[in-house]
Structure 1
Amino acid sequence: MDRRHFSTVDSLTHLWTTLGLPPKALGSVRLPDADALGLPSSFKIGNLAQSSIALTALLAALIHTSQRHRGAENGNDGDDDEDNDTAVPTVTVPLHHAVVEFRSERFHTIAGSHPGGGRPHSAVGGLHRTSDGWVRVHDIFPHHRARALEVLGCSADADREAVAAAIGRWRCVDLENTALEAGAVVAALRSYEQWDVLPHAKAIRDFPIQIREIGSDDDGLAAGRGDGSLGGWQERKSQQNSGDNSSAKALHGVRVLEMSRVIAAPVAGRTLAAHGADVLWVTSPGLPDLPVIDRDTARGKRTASLDLDLDTDAKADNPSHASARARGNHESDSASDKEILLSLADDADVFLQGYRPGSLAGRGLSIDALIARRRQKGIRRGIVCANLSAYGADGPWRARRGFDSLVQTCSGMNVSEAEHFSSARDDAGSTDGSAAPHNAGGVGTSGAGSAARPMPCQALDHASGYFLAAGIMAALYRQSQPGCSGYSYEVSVSLAGTMKYLRSLGQYPGNTGFQCDDYATMQDVPAEYLEERMSGFGLLKAVKHSATIDGVPVGWDIMPNPLGSDEPRWL
């Protein structure tokens, strides 16, 4: 779909109505500074940030209003649901606050210092020249770094020059494919023209949020249609304490079981927590702590550690595996931990996960398995299962590992961004995201004349997180309709799908999109966008949520703590 003409309001309207939500609620949205430049980029990051965050906040407001209306049904004046939609409280999302929140992992400090300060420059990660082009290597996890070094035939202590020399002997696509087979994470740098001819590019769906209802006769997994009575999160929300700030939030009573790492899926959980959901973030002691990211995305969540043996390679490379277990109060083996997790899923309203498609199915955590287990236990309530993947559930790349920076690299975004940045003509460059010649000149990774330039933030990660949260809330809203408490839904979002959506919005001509504030450092962020709270690591200063809802509290009541600090149970 060609969305080049979309304003930010158009984008929000398109997302909202395509999800089948009541159009009248859109009148409650305020978007200060909409359509101004957000961050320096040829891509319309401001449009994406403001519309995706507003989408989640408006959904939260809609659910809040809908539940409040139903709670007072016996004493109302006969207004129907359509009239009730007009009473959705005002939602406000300022543009500049939204784009700052799209960089939130960069703008937080613990006791005055960023958790990533002083880290040595990686010898492996980043952009490297090959014999015929470029590749980007991702090495945020130690086991990914180790696999990349093995593929390259480099020692564990190899410096960047040695790694560059080894990569320089490879053809870019050959290295990408060999790394895939070895469990490393590498992407070849492509132009739009090179990406668009790939079968997987054609397999990516046009709309970034996919919602599938589970339980129809066609699925053969009757989840139960419900009898119209309240259950699960709706019942818990109806019992809210009027004097409790957290219980007054829009998603109070919603239980979210989150299994995720890095940015996108954690942002989804963080967003649900900002609106009052009880988010229990379950991590594996086999995976390392990521302080640069986790201190930001863990806000609003309790954290429990369960040994599910999710990544044997990661566990082998993580010497803190045993000690990670000791950080929490819970002690048991992986077999009992699996049963604990399944029991948590039985009582969850939302299961949110960010692992590759199919990777959790063998552990009884597919949506079909979770629904079948509920049927066996006589649980009539439905569940919302939300999946975040790199490349989507369809196409030949569906099982590939991937991250924001790699999707930008392989899809042509980095090449196009570099070409726009280096353009000397304000009226030049592609404005529709169409194919452009690959710039083979230049040897840098950013700046005029370079082969590739990343976007100024992890826009695919953040937008995908908000899209996933929106899909979850849209499913909860459908589930909350009379007689629908037994419905289950599968919500799917991918970084590649978000990439395709952002590209469909078009690009600013030439280098005009770069002529705005960068918010390069935390000192550039307006004080009103920040908050200070005590965390389990010390005083945390971080970006506040950019959305507000009139008369409804929004924000995080729980600050980050060490992984595994909480018991694996629901409040």
Structure 2
Amino acid sequence: MKPGTERGCTDVSAEGLVTVDRASHHVRDVVEELWKRLDLPSEALSSILLEGGSEPALPSSFRLGLLAQASIALSALAAAQIYALRNEVEVPRVEVPLRHAVIEFKSERFYTTDGQPPSASSDAIGGLHRTADGYIRVHDSFPNHSNGMLELVGLPLDSTREDFADKIAQWQSLALEDAATVKGNLAAYALRPYSEWDPLPQARAISDYPVNIHPISLDGTKGFPDRILRGATRCLKGLRILEMSRVIAAPLCGKTLAAHGADVIWVTSPNLPDLPTIDREFGRGKRTVQLDIHNPADKDKLLELIKNCDVFIQGFRPGSLAQHGLSPKDLANINPNIVVGNMSAFGPSGPWASQRGFDSLVQTCSGMNVSEAQHAGGGEAARPLPCQALDHASGYLLATGVLAALYHRTCQGGAWQVDVSLACTMKYLRSLGQYHGSSGFQCGDYKQQAEIPAEYLESRETGFGRMVAVKHSAKVSGCEVGWDIMPKPLGSDSAEWL
């Protein structure tokens, strides 16, 4: 066990739940474990260069620096492995500086457009609220969620945060969670300690590994498509990625693949609200198309894109797209060589699999926020992590899984499925242990762009003005890494492959 860390999620609860202890893991151990779990060539591990120790890198009891550096390194090493396979060369050297990695884990907070930082969320009713017997966290980034919560508690849509807090204070936490999230179409979760989360059937249903891949069928052909040529200086040049997603985790996967040269088309719906401040950061590297899946002509365009893509990334709840004939098996029937990358809140198994969830809500319901507050020792009921670590790590891990599946598709043929969830990433982070007491909070943090070293930033013209934002932290020797396409209004491009 590393000095200063303690066992993370290896305690045996009253219900007998036991999970894996990784508190002694260094960053190389994490990379090696997950790389081998994905059945990728072990010799590639000698190409990774990772400097940095196990000391805190962001103020938290959790080992966020380790998670950031390892997850980004895995995605870059997987891209380098694809480069080596297509060019029949050794895997080029991959480097990810720790400091740059933790800054990139907060990238959506650090960009500016024409000198202005992202506008802060109004947070009209969202966040942690006291209930009759505890606390509950409400998600309100989307209007349908905030309006739905107001209607649920019997308030008009123009009610104040104070009005809402007064109403919530009359509810039992689990009763409100059930009404909003289980029986409704909203997103609110009760604050739980580990002792209440660990015995839940959903906690038991989550895998001990944050990336899981398997073949859907082996009917497809081996090798790379003809458009993927040898000699390109970008690892993923020629790969076609179709992405249907919102918020952070799944869009980050597409953004990561684009950083290594993939052609990424981001499909959004004109019927759903956008998140302009987040969309600008995670739209880097992508072409943007808007299609209404309920419109037959738009559905046909989507199917045509699917027929000719390599990867389909989706960030909706398990089963949601299946209602539109877009389950993994449906997609494999449309395109026998497809890789399907699924991002969800709680994973494909368990009673919560179909529930909505976001990073902050998974932190809340799983015991992380309570444990973080206890370690900080400030008397808070809950303390969120200093970044959206579950979102960011899950995005890089999904990119890793997608590239691992592409590797296996190339060698074995077939269509492949990749599953990553915020809750599974949470479980893995817990297994890495927590710093003893408040020691993890003694390091510095990054709060604004002015605190970021200039070499970690780039300045580019976008569809919204001049954008200064965090560069990708991974370097691949002899290869170009970064984004050629800059953010633009959603729906600016044509629904066709280059």
TM range (shorter): over 0.9
**In structure 1, how many angstroms separate the alpha carbons of the residues matched to 2:356 and 2:348?**
12
Q: Match for 1:537: what amino acid?
A: F
Q: Residue 495 of structure 1 aligns with which residue?
A: 422
Q: Decide whether the 8 Å contact of 2:104 with 2:470 is kept in 1.
A: yes
Q: Decide whether the 8 Å contact of 1:304 with 1:567 is kept in 2.
A: yes
Q: Match for 1:109: what amino acid?
A: T
**In structure 1, how many angstroms separate the alpha carbons of the residues matched to 2:442 and 2:124?**
33
Q: Secondary structure at the match of 1:451?
A: coil
Output aligned runs, 1:274-289, within 5 Å.
Answer: 274-289=259-274
Q: Decide whether the 8 Å contact of 1:41 with 1:456 is kept in 2.
A: yes
Q: Decide whether the 8 Å contact of 1:302 with 1:566 is kept in 2.
A: yes
**In structure 2, how many angstroms separate the alpha carbons of the residues matched to 1:138 and 1:395?**
22
Q: Match for 1:348: what amino acid?
A: C
Quick check: 1:62 aligned with 2:81?
A: yes
Q: Decide whether the 8 Å contact of 1:42 with 1:421 is kept in 2.
A: yes
Q: Secondary structure at the match of 2:243?
A: strand
TM-aligned CA deviation for residue 289 of structure 1: 2.2
Q: Decide whether the 8 Å contact of 2:124 with 2:140 is kept in 1.
A: no
Q: Secondary structure at the match of 1:4?
A: coil
Q: Secondary structure at the match of 1:471?
A: helix
Q: 1:514 aligns with which of 412, 417, 441?
A: 441
**In structure 1, how many angstroms separate the alpha carbons of the residues matched to 2:210 and 2:27?**
16
Identity %: 55
Quick check: 1:212 aligned with 2:201?
A: no
Q: Match for 1:409: what amino acid?
A: T
Q: Decide whether the 8 Å contact of 1:114 with 1:292 is kept in 2.
A: no
TM-aligned CA deviation for residue 373 of structure 1: 2.8
Q: Residue 237 of structure 1 aligns with which residue?
A: 228
Stretch moving more, 162-171 or 23-32:
23-32
**In structure 1, how many angstroms separate the alpha carbons of the residues matched to 2:323 and 2:300?**
14
Q: Decide whether the 8 Å contact of 1:42 with 1:420 is kept in 2.
A: yes
Q: Residue 384 of structure 1 aligns with which residue?
A: 339
Q: Residue 543 of structure 1 aligns with which residue?
A: 470
Q: Residue 388 of structure 2 aligns with which residue?
A: 458
Q: Secondary structure at the match of 2:116?
A: coil
TM-aligned CA deviation for residue 35 of structure 1: 2.3
Q: Secondary structure at the match of 2:128?
A: strand
Q: Secondary structure at the match of 2:418?
A: strand
Q: Residue 359 of structure 1 aligns with which residue?
A: 320
Q: Decide whether the 8 Å contact of 2:127 with 2:137 is kept in 1.
A: yes
**In structure 2, how many angstroms separate the alpha carbons of the residues matched to 1:270 and 1:393?**
23
TM-aligned CA deviation for residue 308 of structure 1: 1.6
Q: Match for 2:78: what amino acid?
A: L
Quick check: 1:94 aligned with 2:97?
A: yes
Q: Match for 1:396: what amino acid?
A: P
Deviations 1:185-241 (A, max 9, x none): 10000000010111111111111101011215xxxxxx24x3x5x452xx2122x6x
**In structure 2, how many angstroms separate the alpha carbons of the residues matched to 1:387 and 1:160?**
35
Q: Residue 300 of structure 1 aligns with which residue?
A: 285
Q: Match for 2:386: what amino acid?
A: P
Q: Match for 1:200: what amino acid?
A: Q
Q: Residue 558 of structure 1 aligns with which residue?
A: 485
TM-score when normalising by structure 2? 0.94
**In structure 2, how many angstroms separate the alpha carbons of the residues matched to 1:106 and 1:358?**
32
**In structure 2, how many angstroms separate the alpha carbons of the residues matched to 1:182 and 1:14?**
39
Q: Decide whether the 8 Å contact of 1:281 with 1:302 is kept in 2.
A: yes
**In structure 1, how many angstroms separate the alpha carbons of the residues matched to 2:274 and 2:187?**
19
Q: Secondary structure at the match of 2:467?
A: strand
**In structure 2, how many angstroms separate the alpha carbons of the residues matched to 1:197 and 1:167?**
26
Q: Match for 1:127: what amino acid?
A: L
TM-aligned CA deviation for residue 248 of structure 1: 2.0
TM-aligned CA deviation for residue 337 of structure 1: 0.4
Quick check: 1:30 aligned with 2:49?
A: yes
Q: 2:303 aligns with which of 336, 342, 353?
A: 342
Q: Secondary structure at the match of 2:213?
A: strand
Q: Residue 250 of structure 2 aligns with which residue?
A: 265
Q: Match for 1:341: what amino acid?
A: L
**In structure 2, how many angstroms separate the alpha carbons of the residues matched to 1:420 and 1:258?**
38
**In structure 1, how many angstroms separate the alpha carbons of the residues matched to 2:418 and 2:353?**
16
Q: Residue 108 of structure 2 aligns with which residue?
A: 105
**In structure 2, how many angstroms separate the alpha carbons of the residues matched to 1:370 and 1:416?**
41
Q: Match for 1:8: what amino acid?
A: V
**In structure 1, how many angstroms separate the alpha carbons of the residues matched to 2:118 and 2:23?**
39
Q: Match for 1:476: what amino acid?
A: L
Which residues of structure 2 form unaligned runs of 5+?
1-19
Q: Decide whether the 8 Å contact of 1:151 with 1:182 is kept in 2.
A: no
Q: 1:45 aligns with which of 64, 80, 83?
A: 64
Deviations 1:11-36 (A, max 9, x none): 11111111111111111111122423
Q: Secondary structure at the match of 1:15?
A: helix
Corresponding pairs, count: 478
Q: Decide whether the 8 Å contact of 2:86 with 2:224 is kept in 1.
A: no
**In structure 2, how many angstroms separate the alpha carbons of the residues matched to 1:34 and 1:102?**
18
Q: Decide whether the 8 Å contact of 1:116 with 1:291 is kept in 2.
A: no
Q: Secondary structure at the match of 2:152?
A: helix
Q: Decide whether the 8 Å contact of 1:304 with 1:565 is kept in 2.
A: yes
Q: Residue 178 of structure 1 aligns with which residue?
A: 179
- Structure 1 or 2, whichever has the larger Rg, is 1
Q: Residue 407 of structure 1 aligns with which residue?
A: 362
Q: Decide whether the 8 Å contact of 2:59 with 2:445 is kept in 1.
A: yes
Cα 1:105–1:132 shift into 2, 3 Å: same
Stretch moving more, 140-149 or 285-294:
285-294
Deviations 1:47-93 (A, max 9, x none): 00000000011111111011101xxxxxxxxxxxxxx5xx2111000
Q: Decide whether the 8 Å contact of 2:306 with 2:334 is kept in 1.
A: no
Q: Match for 1:388: what amino acid?
A: M
Q: Secondary structure at the match of 2:450?
A: helix
Q: Match for 1:560: what amino acid?
A: P
Q: Match for 1:251: what amino acid?
A: L
Which residues of structure 1 form unaligned runs of 5+?
70-83, 217-222, 310-333, 375-380, 423-447
Quick check: 1:20 aligned with 2:39?
A: yes
Q: Residue 439 of structure 1 aligns with which residue?
A: none
**In structure 1, how many angstroms separate the alpha carbons of the residues matched to 2:24 and 2:249?**
27
Deviations 1:459-517 (A, max 9, x none): 00000000100000001111222xx3x31100000000000000000000001111111
Q: Residue 168 of structure 1 aligns with which residue?
A: 169
Computed over aligned residues only, the root mean square deviation of the Cα atoms, in angstroms, reads 1.2
**In structure 2, how many angstroms separate the alpha carbons of the residues matched to 1:302 and 1:98?**
25
Cα 1:54–1:231 shift into 2, 3 Å: closer
Q: Secondary structure at the match of 2:204?
A: helix
TM-aligned CA deviation for residue 524 of structure 1: 1.1
Deviations 1:300-336 (A, max 9, x none): 0000010124xxxxxxxxxxxxxxxxxxxxxxxx111
Q: Residue 17 of structure 2 aligns with which residue?
A: none
**In structure 1, how many angstroms separate the alpha carbons of the residues matched to 2:466 and 2:87?**
36
**In structure 1, how many angstroms separate the alpha carbons of the residues matched to 2:188 and 2:382?**
15
- Runs of 4+ aligned residues of structure 1 deviating over 4 Å after TM superposition are none
Q: Secondary structure at the match of 1:213?
A: strand
Deviations 1:406-435 (A, max 9, x none): 00000000000000001xxxxxxxxxxxxx
Q: Match for 1:53: what amino acid?
A: I
**In structure 2, how many angstroms separate the alpha carbons of the residues matched to 1:373 and 1:254?**
18
